[in-house]
Amino acid sequence: MMKTMQTVVLEDASQKAILEDTLSRMSSAQNFVVDVCYESEDTNTFRVHHKTYRKLRQDFGLPSQLAVVANKYACASVKTSIKRKGRKPVFSGKSIHYDARSCTINLEKSVVSLLTIKGRIKVKFEIPKYFKQFVGWKAKESNLVKCRDGKFRLMVSIERTSIKSKKTGRIIAIDRGINNLIATSDGWLYESRHVWEIKQHYVSLRSRLHSKGTRSAKRHLAKMRGRERRFMRDVNHCISRRLIGSAGKDGVIVLEKLNGIRDAKHRHEQNWLFSNWAFYQLEHFLIYKGEETGVAIEFVPAKDTSKTCSACGSLRRGQRQGSAFRCKACGVVLHADLNAAKNILHKYHADGLLSTSLLLPKGLSKPFISMDGS
């Protein structure tokens, strides 16, 4: 399994100047490669490398390995942009990727050797207290990032052997949504109303502060940066911890594949919700926590999970009515998100039909909903 360790670089004045110059030249080189990709209508890393390598070395002064990295990541960015029909990528000079050939990291001594335009330089870094528990892990690669405060931070990818799940324990299927962040096949709902209220509060507050434009408003905006992100991160950590704990060692958590959900066409309000929803972060947290504790994370196709009756398997239009699912074939009534979670479980070939504890009397739209994750 892999984690990212965030460290603070303790560079001196001369080293800082070298790192800043390297970042600047690297971003200029990557923007040059992007231009070549668009002009030649070619994103093949191998072919573009032969078109740009000499210029990256001579005109931008990049060492050989940094020239290779610049070409690789510029081509990858163009491919992604074209696939998503997005804008032309622009590298701003705020970060640089170092692979195993361009940096050597010693976690025990808190020293890293970085390849720069002036050759290799050894720089010390400080490991925060939380990350010191991972010092024994193997360092793989890193990203050097220049933050808003002007300081450099080294994001180090560290690795150790994962705990394999035997998949003999409890199986929990999860449906992720807008009205409920998650619904599980064993009946737990985490309502998202309070999350969206806080997000909308930040959006409204940012808008008011931007319109004022005063010094105090700008100071307030600076303090707000990251606050909303940290809130959502905490929510996802709490949810993932509970789910991993519920599954237990050798358990399985089943998710539906949500590939392309941001690219799909939705109403204006739905577009805002999807773009502000950290569902991939929750997925990431589940994966790495599962690797730490021996819980397997599996995926099934999301197709028709919200339209099919989990009790009889009937697939008909109009069976979902808001938060309620009413089967036209067998007459079962239950919460729509719980029904979807059950279908995800069935797709994973779990045995057993719908638990009677999840069936609702006709006319009742949904069962008890947890507001605080309890």
- Residue 96 CB partners (closer than 8 Å, separation 6+): 22, 23, 26, 66, 69, 143, 144
**For the chain, give me the number of helices (H) and strands (E)?**
9, 15
pLDDT on residue 149: 86
Pairing of strands 252-256, 296-300: parallel
- Which range of residues forms the domain containing residue 261? 162-374
Question: How far, in Å, CA of 20 to CA of 237, rounded?
Answer: 34
The DSSP code for 133 is: G
Same domain flag for 43 and 167: no
Query: Which pLDDT score, from 0 to 100, does residue 269 have?
Result: 52
Same domain for 152 and 172?
no
The Cβ of residue 244 has, within 10 Å, a number of other Cβ atoms equal to 23
Global confidence as pTM: 0.65
pLDDT at 359: 37
In this predicted structure, what is the pLDDT of residue 277? 65
- The pLDDT value given to residue 213: 85
* Element spanning 139, H or E: strand 138-146
Intervals of the chain under pLDDT 70: 260-277, 350-374
Ordered strands of the 111-116 beta sheet: 95-98, 138-146, 152-159, 2-10, 119-126, 111-116, 103-106
Could you tell me if 145 and 243 lie in one domain? Answer: no
Q: Name 107's Cβ contacts closer than 8 Å, sequence gap at least 6.
A: 5, 127, 134, 135, 136, 137, 139, 156, 158
Q: Which domain-ending residue is among 159, 188, 207?
A: 159
pLDDT (0 to 100) of residue 306: 86
One domain for residues 146 and 253: no
Residues 42 and 188 in one domain: no
Distance between CA atoms of residues 127 and 131, nearest Å:
6
Same domain, 347 and 209: yes
Task: Compute the distance between CA of residue 370 and CA of residue 286 in angstroms, rounded to an integer.
Answer: 20
Do 149 and 174 belong to one domain? no
154 and 168 in a common domain: no
Q: Are residues 147 and 285 in the same domain?
A: no
| Domain match, 259 and 353 both | yes
pLDDT value, residue 276 = 57
Boundary of a domain, candidates 116, 133, 159: 159
| Digit-coded pLDDT (tens) for 203-221 | 899 889 989 888 898 888 8
Q: List the structure tokens of 339.
A: 């029904």
Query: Alpha helix (H) ranges present in the chain?
Result: 13-40, 45-58, 64-83, 193-212, 215-224, 227-247, 268-275, 279-293, 336-347
Rounded to whole angstroms, what are the CA distances from 221 to 92, 102, 200, 231, 232?
22, 37, 15, 16, 18
Q: Which of 127, 159, 191 is the last residue of a domain?
A: 159
Residues 145 and 192 in one domain: no
Number of independent structural domains in the chain = 2
Q: List all residues 6 or more positions away from 199 whose beta carbon is below 8 Å from its beta carbon.
A: 228, 232, 276
How high is the pLDDT of residue 199?
Answer: 83
Q: What is the pLDDT of residue 26?
A: 96
Q: Let me know whether 311 and 337 are in one domain.
A: yes
Q: Is 123 left (phi over 0), alpha (psi -120 to 50) or beta?
A: beta
Residue 198 token pair: 């806080």
- Name 372's Cβ contacts closer than 8 Å, sequence gap at least 6: none
The Cα–Cα gap between 328 and 121 comes to: 70
- Rg (C-alpha) for the chain, rounded Å, is 25
pLDDT score for 43: 94
What span, in angstroms and rounded, lies between the C-alpha atoms of 102 and 113? 8
